[in-house]
Amino acid sequence: GQQLNQSPQSMFIQEGEDVSMNCTSSSIFNTWLWYKQEPGEGPVLLIALYKAGELTSNGRLTAQFGITRKDSFLNISASIPSDVGIYFCAGQLGKGAQKLVFGQGTRLTINP
Amino acid sequence: GAGVSQTPSNKVTEKGKYVELRCDPISGHTALYWYRQSLGQGPEFLIYFQGTGAADDSGLPNDRFFAVRPEGSVSTLKIQRTERGDSAVYLCASSLPLAGGGVNEQFFGPGTRLTVL
């Protein structure tokens, strides 16, 4: 089936550093989304991207929808302790198709 | 307001037993989704309901898995003859009625952690 390749798998950074993670796919997606998941909770939507080339910000988070529609990145600037968690990219394949395909996740750990 | 709730939060069962997992979506959300998340992986789609009907069940791994949503609100995921490989967190999500074929944000519940011994 469709797969999203997300990297890196894990990151260990110092508080205040910037973070970058990305996702690639062999399939074209109409929509890319970035979620964050904390222990014992379901994923929470951070940013949604709807157009190829689109660059969207949400506070310290910035994400881009690749021009080929096969990739996306998420940047977090000036990381803080509450940024700790697992970040997932997800894609929606076609218009009207509501199934989401998720990447394997990037586990972010922050040293204070 | 209340988010998506799932019960039980944890379920331990023995191989071969039958289990039911329940999902209460956000009030007014007509779309409901089930995903399965294995340890260290992202969620994998199982099935999606629009109202009472299953609009896409392509993610159900085999015929031991079945889901219903008889009144268009609460949904139950049913697993027969459980196997150790069924152990995972089962996540439910709901979203508002679709508009123009685009994506409506899926709000996830906390999940049910199923352990098959």
Residue B33 is predicted with a pLDDT of 95
Contact B101 A96 (CB under 8 A): yes
Say if residue B30's pLDDT is above 60: yes
User: pLDDT digit string (tens) for A89-99?
Assistant: 999 876 555 78
With an 8 Å Cβ cutoff, is A45 touching chain B?
yes
Using CB atoms and an 8 Å cut-off, which of residues 46-85 of chain A contact chain B? 48, 50
DSSP chain B: ----EEE-SEEEE-TT--EEEEEEPPTT--EEEEEEE-TTS--EEEEEEETTEEEE-TT--STTEEEE-TTSS-EEEEE-S--GGG-EEEEEEEEPPP-TT-PPPPEE---EEEEE-
Residue B12 is predicted with a pLDDT of 98
Contact list in A for residue B33 (CB cut-off 8 A) is 98-100
Residue A90 is predicted with a pLDDT of 95
Residue B2 is predicted with a pLDDT of 84
Say if residue A64's pLDDT is above 80: yes
User: pLDDT digit string (tens) for B53-103?
Assistant: 999 999 999 999 999 999 999 999 999 999 999 999 999 999 887 665 556
User: pLDDT digit string (tens) for A18-36?
Assistant: 999 999 999 898 889 999 9
